[in-house]
Amino acid sequence: MGTYIPDQNITSGLDVAIIGGGIAGLTLALGLLNRGIKPTIYERGRSFREIGAGIGFTPNAEWAMKVLNPKIHAAFKQVTVQNGTDWFVWMDGSQEDEALVHKMYLGERGFEGCARADFLDELVKSLPPDTVKFSKNLVEICDADGLAEVELKFSDGSKTSTNVVIGCDGIRSKVRQFVIGEGDNPAHHAHYTHKYAFRGLVPMDKAYAALGQEKTETRHMYLGPDAHALTFPVAGGKLLNVVAFVTDPNQWPDSEKFTLPATKADAVKAFERFNSTVKAIIDMLPDELSKWAVFDTFDYPAPNFIRGRVCISGDAAHAAAPYHGAGAGFAVEDAAVLAQLLSAVNEYTKSHDLEKREISKPGLIRKALKTYNTIRLERAHWLVETSRHIGEIYQGQNAEVGLDSTKCAREIDWRCRQIWHYDVDKMMRESKELFEKQLDIV
Ligand SMILES: Cc1cc2nc3c(=O)[nH]c(=O)nc-3n(C[C@H](O)[C@H](O)[C@H](O)COP(=O)(O)OP(=O)(O)OC[C@H]3O[C@@H](n4cnc5c(N)ncnc54)[C@H](O)[C@@H]3O)c2cc1C
Ligand SMILES: *[C@@H]1O[C@H](CO)[C@@H](O)[C@H](O)[C@H]1NC(C)=O
Ligand SMILES: *[C@@H]1O[C@H](CO)[C@@H](O)[C@H](O)[C@H]1NC(C)=O
């Protein structure tokens, strides 16, 4: 087996096509570059674009960033709020007093938030300029056994071929449809969870005046009946990010758009049963809001993440409701495994006589992706499931748990630990071992 030690100087014999330049695609690209592989990102948009809202990363995600490429982690730390407190606080926002539910320590500078666009801008700075092909909307994939390479077709009529395709094309993934297979299948799409979020940024001086230091500086989750709200500082502490989730018995009215205009009055109504502190937070939101539908893949998960030399990662593979704030972090974990395995394929291709070993490059790639699937499938499906459950718990909708603070705390604690304290190094070791076992080299 070739060495896994990153080497920036080697020339890669492996063509990797990444579909989509979100967090999944960009972190994977940087992880591959760190291992001497120069991928091509095909992005549908004319430029990189992220919804202008906040995002936080759990400790497991920071660990995976470091493993992928220290530049990713440095980029993240560059744009986060550097000096909030390192705690996550859950409170019952429907009680007329200080009702602490649970509190977890995140480690020094743990779970920091940033503006998404700032993070992506930092990541893009580390990409060689010709890595990304913009305005490339993937419409068709062909991966037949007889083909030397996988063929890709874009909506502008252009075509390309490549050794391996990683679908990082998000919740409405085209690549997922290919991986799952032709014919009508509800797993081709994510589905509405009957919850949506109001999102808004509040100037910090205004938030501070209403809430004080503790509640503006530390991540707070306010639980309550059929709604819950999350707040944390972004933009160097100049803004308070507010995400207010509500339950919606109706169908989402638009099949194309996940975001629709909303008014503050709608939000105020949904938080009627909360106390005056939480109502004050809602009241600070701007009058014209947008609401964001929460879709996920819980009801119809992808049975697996691979088909031949094509795979999916990030939201394309496992779109989870955002209550654990871990979806993008899991995309980074996916990327760490993929970067290592593709790097192993690359090393192996260069340093061994494949024919003598009776394995072709496509065969090697298929085994690498199989390894990725085995390592990631269960944990990724679990994220989708626990994200659904914790959303119900935050909104007092779990019949056994209700808004009982002891029971809520227990559920929050073990679920968060399973996400935050995941052993990324162990995952990397296991995927390396499993791949070698598949190749019959010990
Ligand atoms: C309200 C909310 C809050 C969240 N908060 C957090 C949080 O705090 N922490 C966290 O870890 N996660 C959070 N998440 C989840 C996180 O946003 C997602 O998991 C993450 O952004 C997914 O990244 P991705 O790269 O897989 O997909 P995306 O970011 O959706 O990127 C997909 C990219 O693919 C491109 N594309 C799509 N189709 C094609 C095509 N056919 N051809 C070419 N390109 C294509 C798109 O243009 C896009 O650039 C939150 C989600 C929501 C909704
Ligand atoms: C955070 O840093 C800023 C600027 O460095 C400083 O003014 C502020 O007091 C710090 N806040 C805390 C809570 O440490
Ligand atoms: C409302 O609930 C929050 C969370 O429990 C608490 O911190 C706050 O003090 C409460 N406000 C009032 C007015 O009771």
Burial 16-50 (b: 16+ CB within 10 A, else e): bbbbbbbbbbbbbbbbbbbbbbbbbbbbbeeebeb
CB 313 within 8 A of CB 338: yes
Q: Tell me the whole-structure pTM to 2 decimals.
A: 0.92
Determine whether the shortest distance from the Cβ of 92 to ligand 3 is under 6 A.
Answer: yes
Residue nearest to atom 4 of ligand 2 (CA): 83
Per-residue DSSP letters for 21-49?
A: -SHHHHHHHHHHHTTT---EEE-SSSS--
Rounded to the nearest whole angstrom, what is the distance from the C-alpha of residue 327 to the centroid of ligand 1? Answer: 8
Contacts of 366 by beta carbon, 8 Å cutoff, 6+ apart: 308, 309
Q: What is the mean pLDDT of residues 211-238?
A: 91
Q: What is the mean pLDDT of residues 117-143?
A: 94
Q: What is the mean pLDDT of residues 108-117?
A: 78
Q: Give the pLDDT band of residue 2 (cuts 50, 70, 90).
A: very low
More confident residue, 441 or 217: 217
Determine whether the shortest distance from the Cβ of 315 to ligand 1 is under 6 A.
Answer: yes
Per-residue pLDDT tens over the stretch 3-60:
333 345 445 789 999 999 999 999 999 999 999 999 999 999 987 766 656 788 999 9
Q: What is the mean pLDDT of residues 49-77?
A: 88
Q: Indicate the top mutation candidate among 80, 82, 83 to test ligand 2's pocket, ranked by most ligand atoms within 8 A of CB.
A: 83
CATH of domain 16-81+113-189+298-397+413-438: 3.50.50.60
Q: What is the mean pLDDT of residues 79-88?
A: 72
Rounded to the nearest whole angstrom, what is the distance from the C-alpha of residue 64 to the centroid of ligand 2? Answer: 28
Residue nearest to atom 10 of ligand 3 (CA): 97
Q: What is the mean pLDDT of residues 62-91?
A: 88
Rounded to the nearest whole angstrom, what is the distance from the C-alpha of residue 437 to the centroid of ligand 2? Answer: 51
Residue nearest to atom 3 of ligand 1 (CA): 322
CB 229 within 8 A of CB 425: no
Determine whether the shortest distance from the Cβ of 174 to ligand 1 is under 6 A.
Answer: yes
Rounded to the nearest whole angstrom, what is the distance from the C-alpha of residue 84 to the centroid of ligand 2? Answer: 8
Q: What is the mean pLDDT of residues 213-234?
A: 93
Determine whether the shortest distance from the Cβ of 201 to ligand 1 is under 6 A.
Answer: no
Determine whether the shortest distance from the Cβ of 83 to ligand 2 is under 6 A.
Answer: yes
Give the active site residues. Answer: 199
Nearest ligand 1 atom to the CA of 50 is 29
State the Cα–Cα distance between residues 390 and 366, nearest whole angstrom. 35
Q: Give the pLDDT band of residue 256 (cuts 50, 70, 90).
A: confident
Q: Give the pLDDT band of residue 302 (cuts 50, 70, 90).
A: very high
pLDDT for the residue numbered 51: 60
User: Which pairs count as long-range contacts for 263-267, CB under 8 Å and 24+ apart, including other chains?
Assistant: 263/287, 263/288, 263/289, 264/288, 264/289, 266/198, 266/291, 267/198
Q: What is the mean pLDDT of residues 396-421?
A: 97
Rounded to the nearest whole angstrom, what is the distance from the C-alpha of residue 153 to the centroid of ligand 2? Answer: 51
Residue type (1 letter), 375: I
Nearest ligand 2 atom to the CA of 237 is 1
Residue 11 DSSP one-character state: P
Rounded to the nearest whole angstrom, what is the distance from the C-alpha of residue 342 to the centroid of ligand 3? Answer: 51
Nearest ligand 1 atom to the CA of 55 is 8
Determine whether the shortest distance from the Cβ of 85 to ligand 2 is under 6 A.
Answer: no
State the Cα–Cα distance between residues 16 and 161, nearest whole angstrom. 10
Range in 109-113, 145-149, 255-259, 325-329 the model is least confident about: 109-113
pLDDT for the residue numbered 82: 60
pLDDT of 137 higher than 60: yes
Range in 358-367, 373-382, 404-413 the model is least confident about: 358-367
Nearest ligand 2 atom to the CA of 217 is 13
Nearest ligand 2 atom to the CA of 85 is 13
Helix (H, G, I), strand (E, B) or coil at 171: coil
pLDDT for the residue numbered 48: 72
Determine whether the shortest distance from the Cβ of 355 to ligand 3 is under 6 A.
Answer: no
The CA angle 344-427-82, to the nearest 5 degrees, is: 105
**Two structure tokens written together for 352:** 């061994």
Using a pLDDT cut of 90, give the percent of the chain over it: 78
Nearest ligand, CA 318: 1
Q: Where are the domains of the chain?
A: 16-81+113-189+298-397+413-438
pLDDT of 199 higher than 70: yes
pLDDT for the residue numbered 83: 53
pLDDT of 363 higher than 80: yes
Nearest ligand 1 atom to the CA of 25 is 25
Of 27, 38, 34, nearest to 4 by C-alpha is 34
Determine whether the shortest distance from the Cβ of 91 to ligand 3 is under 6 A.
Answer: yes
Q: Indicate the top mutation candidate among 27, 43, 256 to test ligand 1's pocket, ranked by most ligand atoms within 8 A of CB.
A: 43
pLDDT for the residue numbered 434: 97
Determine whether the shortest distance from the Cβ of 126 to ligand 3 is under 6 A.
Answer: no
Q: What is the mean pLDDT of residues 352-362?
A: 76
